[in-house]
Amino acid sequence: MKDGLVVLDEVSYSYNPDRPVLRRCCFQLDADERVGLLGTNGSGKTTVLKMIVGLLKPDSGRVRIFGKLCRTERDFREVRRRVGFLFQDSDDQLFCPTVAEDVAFGPLNMGKSREEARQIVSRTLSLLGLPRFEDRITYKLSGGEKRLVALAAVLAMQPEVLLLDEPTAGLDDAAAQRVVDVLEELPQAMVIATHDPRLLDSPVNRLLRLSGGRLVAESDGDGAIGHLQLQTKP
Amino acid sequence: MSNVIENAGSYGASLAPTNGWCLNGVDPRTRLIAAFCFSMVVTALSSPTTLVAALGIAVVGAGWTGALTEQRWKRLIPINLLVLLLLGLLPLGGGATPVLSIGPITVAREGLVQAVLIGLKANAIVLGVLVLLARLEMASIGHALGTLGVPAKLTHLLLFTVRYLGVLQREYGRLRAAMKVRGFRPGVDWHTYRSFGYLVGMLLLRSVDRADRIVMAMKCRGFYDRFHPLDRAALTARDAWFTAIVLLVLAGLTVLEWA
């Protein structure tokens, strides 16, 4: 089997032994793919995303990222530099006092110099249409601005893959549309956990539904089903 | 608790200095050190003349810099309530020179003087610190403390508190509103105590959860126990001038006290 960017191979996970969230679940993300992840609340969408960056370790099964088997925290450190994760609640993500510091946080952790970090900050903010946001105080931003700044913070690390957990949840129409527009323009392969039909419409080119602890192909109504790979093993 | 939490939102909207204000160009570090030295010197003063002079300097400073808004002046109220309390109690503690006696109660001169001195000191210090640190964001103060060598754990604690107080406040507001819409009215009964217990417990639990998520989010961006500050501002000529003025004032006070 050709290795995708991200491969989950029969992973199982449970927060509570009586109710497993994932049961021998399989998933593969290839380059240029934008996968929409559907599923009811509590079906395990966030769990899948967290597993990809090693925030949760599978009870069984294998996680391969960029063709490398990842088991330990050390393996995942490298992964987290190359896979960006946008959290559902931007308040969890934006913890620095100012926008500039928050966006620079990742690049500085990656060993960039202050000067480089500053350039990355202004480049990323203007890419997302947030000019002159550098000195804004993160906790005073509106919900939509927070989401975009959090996205900027993730993009500042120049990830190759994006994991987005409900990127439009809790935003008003205009703000949500702005996030959708931004995502459409991004070149990265992504996995988007969402309920928002706007996102399923255009950024996403493959739909999966998480049900009973497994991922199954979901028809998105315009023929994309032919593009689907089988995601569950019997 | 809600008061503390509600005040969290009142820090300024931007770290960018507000233009046209004379302490703007002065580094937060210099201002912090100045505030610390001023407090130390005033604490050591004991002659009424010098204390009046110190308070006078603080008041003039407040007027000259225009640093104190009405809201900041109000911060002097609580400390003066305490001073009033002392003014009422200290003279009753007995002393060599009674000023007034009504029945068993004797008002002593020593206590009165002591209370007035404490009042002068407290006001001079609070006003001086307010002037010196006015219009500084908590964030800049946190960073300045960090570069001054205050342990990282403490400055992180300060910065994270400032950042998440507002989030906690909203969480508290939501829970409180949810209680209200279900007809909860606080009273003096077990139901009220239990409900507030649940509220505080829930708030704590959610904070722990949030802390976990924040750590996860930080790990996702490559954080492993070390912060790399983005700003490292250099001291300028303004800092030198400012330091000179502060030193002059402090020296003046010292001379006035002990000469």
Instruction: For Cα atoms B138, B148, A104, give the angle at the middle one, nearest 5 degrees.
Output: 60
* Mean pLDDT, all residues of chain B: 82
> Do the chains contact at B221 and A157, CB–CB below 8 Å?
yes
Q: What pLDDT, on the 0 to 100 scale, is given for residue A110? A: 85
The tens digit of pLDDT for each residue in B206-239 reads 888 888 888 888 888 888 766 776 766 678 888 8
Which residue is associated with the tokens 């001195």?
A: B117
Give the amino acid at B68: L
Q: Which residue out of A73, A86, A137 would a mutagenesis test of the B interface target, given it has the greatest number of B Cβ atoms within 10 Å? A: A137
Which residue is associated with the tokens 């998440």?
A: B164
Give the amino acid at B215: V
* Beta carbons of A137 and B139 less than 8 angstroms apart: yes
Residue A162 burial (10 A CB sphere; 0-12, 13-18, 19+): buried
- The mean pLDDT value for B133-146 works out to 81
Which residue is associated with the tokens 């509590």?
A: A42
User: Does B217 reach chain A within 8 Å, measured CB to CB?
Assistant: yes
User: Does B135 reach chain A within 8 Å, measured CB to CB?
Assistant: no
Chain B residues with CB under 8 Å of A137 CB are 11-15, 137, 139
Angstrom distance (rounded) from CA A94 to CA B100: 62
User: Does B221 reach chain A within 8 Å, measured CB to CB?
Assistant: yes
Chain A residues with CB under 8 Å of B159 CB are 96-97
Taking alpha carbons only, the member of A8, A142, A15, A182 closest to residue A83 is A8
Which residue is associated with the tokens 């739909």?
A: A207
Taking alpha carbons only, the member of A58, A84, A60 closest to residue A5 is A84
Chain A residues with CB under 8 Å of B11 CB are 137
> A111: which residues sit within 8 A by CB, 6+ positions away?
none
Using CA coordinates, name the residue in chain B closest to A53.
B220
Residue B181 Cα, gap to closest chain A Cα (Å): 22
- Checking ipTM against 0.95, whether it exceeds it is no
- The mean pLDDT value for B120-127 works out to 93
> Do the chains contact at A106 and B221, CB–CB below 8 Å?
yes
Angstrom distance (rounded) from CA A121 to CA A118: 5
Which of A114, A136, A140 comes nearest B230 by C-beta? A114
Taking alpha carbons only, the member of B259, B241, B255, B213 closest to residue B41 is B255
From first to last of its 234 residues, chain A has per-residue pLDDT tens of 457 899 999 999 999 888 899 999 999 999 989 999 998 888 999 999 999 999 899 999 999 999 999 999 888 888 988 999 999 988 888 887 789 988 988 888 888 888 999 999 999 999 998 988 988 888 789 999 999 999 999 999 999 999 999 999 888 999 899 999 999 999 999 999 988 888 887 778 899 999 889 999 886 544 443 343 334 333
> B133: which residues sit within 8 A by CB, 6+ positions away?
B31, B32, B35, B141
Q: Which residue out of A15, A46, A92 would a mutagenesis test of the B interface target, given it has the greatest number of B Cβ atoms within 10 Å? A: A92
Angstrom distance (rounded) from CA A117 to CA A108: 6
Alpha helix segments (H runs only) across chain A: 45-52, 73-82, 90-93, 99-109, 114-127, 143-155, 173-185, 197-201
- The model carries a pTM of 0.69
Angstrom distance (rounded) from CA A80 to CA B117: 60
Which of A55, A92, A138 comes nearest B210 by C-beta? A92
Chain B residues with CB under 8 Å of A101 CB are 229-231
Q: What pLDDT, on the 0 to 100 scale, is given for residue A5? A: 92
DSSP label at A16? B
Residue B225 Cα, gap to closest chain A Cα (Å): 10
